[in-house]
Amino acid sequence: MTGGKIRVLVVDDEPLARRGVLMQLAGEPDVEVVGECTNGLEAVEKIQELAPDLVFLDVQMPELDGFEVVEACAPRGLPAIVFVTAYDQYALKAFEAHALDYLLKPIDGARFHAALDRAREQIERQADRGVNARIAVLLEEMRRDRSYAERIVVRGRDRILLVDVSDVDTIEAAENYMEIRAGRQTHLVRDTMQNMEAKLDPRRFLRIRRSTIVNVSRIKELRPLFNGEYSVLLSDGTELVSSRRFRRNLDALLGD
Q: What is the per-residue pLDDT across 150-206, written as a single tens digit (0 to 9) for each? A: 888 888 777 888 899 999 999 999 988 999 999 999 999 988 887 788 788 888 999
Contacts of 241 (CB under 8 A, 6+ apart): 209, 225, 229, 230, 231, 232
Domains 6-145 and 151-255 fall in the same CATH topology: no
CATH topology of domain 151-255: OB fold (Dihydrolipoamide Acetyltransferase, E2P) (2.40.50)
Task: Write the pLDDT tens digit of every residue in 42-58.
Answer: 898 899 899 999 999 99
**What is the rounded distance in angstroms from the CA atom of residue 128 to the CA atom of residue 131?**
6
pLDDT above 70 (res 225): yes
Apex 10 CA angle, 90 and 27, nearest 5: 105
Share of the chain above pLDDT 70, in %: 85
Residue 102: CB partners within 8 Å, gap ≥ 6?
Answer: 82, 83, 84, 85, 92, 95, 115
Checking if the pLDDT of 105 tops 60, the result is: yes
Between residues 168 and 78, which one has the greater pLDDT?
168
Architecture of domain 6-145: 3-Layer(aba) Sandwich (3.40)
Confidence (pTM): 0.55
The full set of domain ranges for the chain reads 6-145, 151-255
